[in-house]
Structure 1
Amino acid sequence: MADAGPVAVVTEVDDVTADMVITELNKRGVPVVRFDPSDIGDRLLLSARFGARPAVSPAGHLRTPSRKTTLEGVRSVYWRRPTWPHFEHLDDPDARFATAQVRHGLGGSLYALPNAHYVNHPLRNHTAEHKPLQLAVAERVGLTVPPTLISNDLDEIRGFIAEHGQVIYKALRWTPYRRNDGVGLTTWAEPVTADEVDEGVAVVPHLFQARVDKVADVRVVIVGPKVFAIRIDSDLLDWRADYSKLSYEPIALSPQVEHALAEHLDLFGLASGSYDLCITRDGDLHWLELNPNGQWGWLEDETGLPIASAFADLLEQGPTP
């Protein structure tokens, strides 16, 4: 096992999923230092030193109101749901400057910890969030991917819809969105017809995908060597739209699918990831997408699967030799 250094949990204040993992680590006596980048200031102090050979670099420390740890002593980093400061009290140019200094100073130092095992490294998370790259890698490892078009060409889009008949639209990336009256909105996977698309699609690329004749969804959470697969039954196209309509059942994947998903994750250099798949009427599995930092806490509550314990195992272990 790694030395007795702490696990750094980097996340927002209200993160029930992170709380579950921290509870597991506390049970094992593993020290934890928890903070959010938006705490920078009196609640979060950083000193990182470089060039002091033969010492490792960066050397230095992080200090929160309740903890202090050396950078070189951090055993693992659980990069969950961090938020970054916006410096609303500054004017726009100063706020942009200050935000950049935090992202590249604090963030850059956290990305460079010399002895830490990342779950996951934030820069690898960022790479893996790009859906076109996810799709390409999924095909390379032999997973079945629904026909998909990413385009801002109206003729191409209408031709794709005509070719496949039933087509859905998905956002390439979720972003916070509010109406002028402050009401929050989100984008689900939605059916789309050729008549519903017009010249406005030329402004940005859009993702269109042939609709799969599915009978159930599957969320797969991979944590190091452990694979947790949960069948999700509902009558919804996008199960995230109404959690009250869902039922859950742990299932086993075929060795071939497990191997392909593990290879997909490994090609992105990730220790963990949440996959969405679906089961078709003929029993085949279709790969839909990867969320490298997906939510899973409610799945443990619903199924009793020891997912938090698996994360604690990975973080407690630290880097492998």
Structure 2
Amino acid sequence: MGVGLGAYDTGIEALAAVARAALVREIDAEGAFAGDPVWREAFAAVPRHPFVPYYYVAGRRGHERRWGESPDREARERWVRGAYEDVPLATRLRDGELVSSSSQPSLMARMLVALQVADGNRVLEVGAGTGYNAALLAFRLGDDGLVTTIDLEPEITESARRHLDAVGFHPAVVTGDGARGAPERAPFDRIIATCELPTVPRAWLAQCRPGARILTPLATGLLALTVRDAAHAEGGFLPTAAYFVPLRGEGRVEPEDVSLAGLPDRAREQETFRFLLALTRGTLDPREAYALWEREGVPERERYGVTVDGEHARAWLDDPAGPYAWPLP
């Protein structure tokens, strides 16, 4: 399959190629591709810069817009170099709020490896973003209708479709509420979400084949579920921390501010404690969460899991049937 280069000058394209190769080496050195080296080929072949024709970088004077068609050559070079840094890129802001972004490439690589994609799998991506992740999936699986990406915002899906067309990939791009899935494109063997959710949407399970795998951000972690049937799934968290733009639409829940006053600095500064707080929000108050965290030896993310049983979902520590379990929405 071909990968187009877009409408940029040859000097910028040469710079992009060098920067892309350096990014792939950096991700590879971290071991992110070790579980499935085919993803190294995907990141080496699929350019990122056509998917981020502009993005925003935070600075002292607010957000600086970097633009690939700036009349200033140095500005274009800053844009293309930034497109291949291993960082998330803010691509859409609304009233100062981040609406859409291009995820950190090394995190994308870890998630795609953890998705455990096999040839012929039908994949649903929830959160189209720029289209870059869908392009990587299409590179891996081909352009035979196996990849679907969905987003609530028409302007996001329209731009993702344009970006994908520009580089020669044509997955199905759907405008709709990702929490409801894409029933017209089901059944799926894999579902991957690139937005933060408060729980596991039950509609996803009903659109999966038995044995399907779901990978979704939840409570600053990455949850990998195996689907048993249309009403049951279970799985654990990966060790990786993950922070994503919240899901927009029916499934969105506005988080409440939680006061950590009175807790030791050790807890305030630990990501694993904040993960437990997020996972047990509405069930444990911060002091109860801290007592559990200390008592259980400061558990890492991979000791937690989630069980979906019909209309009920619960998070748990160490054992689905054990003493520590908390309801999810």
In the superposition, the TM-score normalised over structure 2's length comes to 0.27
Rg: which structure is higher? Answer: 1
In the superposition, the TM-score normalised over structure 1's length comes to 0.28
User: Which structure ranks higher in relative contact order (CA pairs < 8 Å, sequence separation ≥ 6)?
Assistant: 1
